[in-house]
């Protein structure tokens, strides 16, 4: 998960060291990877890698060449500590997916687990497209509005989470197509879930505990509104 300046929600995720915060959690990620052709020679970029839970799984289970990128220094520190502790050769770099210094066509697969809603989607997708090899795969698990919502409600949700935008399924498809992706597949799988893991920082402000309680309340209140879809496509 990436960090957006001023988003207390993402600060809460970083300080609590929440891994698998995306819908479906690590169990959904594992299920999605079964459908992909991941080899030991595969080069994979985990966008908004957070504490590195998914990146570590890819390196362990597939022995793939994995790179994680995140803009939040706290998440970076926790991800690097995970890789050092588990002795995994995962490269963790600090930066934003909106603009990187990574070489063109470097990766066979790129994934973004609940990341793009927080950034400039158009610029991020253009960068992801640039970084993918020809025929490379992109997988995103993203918040998706099931229907057009009242503007005030959208604004309230965006302010709380720090979303750059709340999009409907058709909006995501247009953005993916504009970036150049094809073979776009959309899935909805709510039968798979997993509990998040936590890696707490030493000093956590009391306001962040309040944010956690508010997030739980929001999740219950807007369960049908805060929906998500899985988007997979090819360059």
All structural domains of the chain with their residue ranges: 8-234
- Report pLDDT for 172: 98
- Report pLDDT for 233: 98
Tally the C-alpha atoms within 13 A of residue 167's C-alpha that lie toward its C-beta.
22
Task: Kindly report the pTM of this predicted structure.
Answer: 0.94
**Could you read off the pLDDT of 117-132 as tens digits, one per residue?**
999 999 999 999 999 9
As a whole number of angstroms, the distance between CA 51 and CA 65 comes to: 17
List the chain residues with pLDDT less than 50: 1-6
- Report pLDDT for 191: 78
- Report pLDDT for 222: 86
- Report pLDDT for 5: 41
- Report pLDDT for 223: 82
Between β-strands 182-187 and 132-143, what pairing exists: parallel, antiparallel or unpaired? unpaired
Residue 148 is classified by DSSP as -
- Report pLDDT for 3: 35
Between β-strands 132-143 and 228-234, what pairing exists: parallel, antiparallel or unpaired? antiparallel
Query: Mean pLDDT in the chain?
Result: 93
Instruction: Give the CATH superfamily of 8-234.
Output: Vaccinia Virus protein VP39 (3.40.50.150)
Structure tokens at 87: 């002795």
């Amino acid at each position: 998960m990436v960090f957006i300046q001023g988003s207390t929600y993402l600060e809460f995720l970083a300080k609590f060291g929440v891994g698998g915060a995306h819908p479906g959690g690590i169990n959904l990620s594992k299920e999605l990877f079964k459908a992909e052709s991941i080899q030991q020679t595969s080069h994979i970029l985990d966008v908004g890698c957070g504490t590195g839970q998914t990146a570590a799984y890819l390196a362990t289970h597939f022995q793939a060449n994995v790179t994680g990128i995140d803009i939040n220094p706290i998440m970076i520190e926790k991800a690097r500590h995970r890789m050092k502790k588990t002795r995994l050769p995962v490269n963790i770099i600090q930066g934003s997916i909106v603009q990187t210094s990574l070489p063109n066509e470097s990766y066979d697969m790129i994934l973004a687990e609940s990341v793009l809603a927080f950034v400039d989607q158009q610029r991020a997708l253009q960068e992801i497209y640039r970084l993918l090899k020809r025929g490379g795969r992109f997988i995103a698990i993203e918040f998706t509005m099931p229907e057009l919502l009242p503007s005030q409600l959208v604004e309230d949700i965006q302010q709380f989470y720090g979303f750059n935008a709340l999009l409907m399924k058709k909006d995501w498809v247009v953005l993916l197509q504009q970036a150049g992706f094809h073979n776009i597949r959309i899935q909805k799988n709510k039968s798979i879930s997993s509990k998040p893991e936590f890696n707490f920082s030493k000093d956590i402000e009391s306001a962040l505990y309040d944010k956690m309680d508010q997030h739980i309340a929001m999740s219950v209140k807007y369960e049908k509104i805060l929906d998500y879809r899985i988007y997979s496509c090819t360059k």
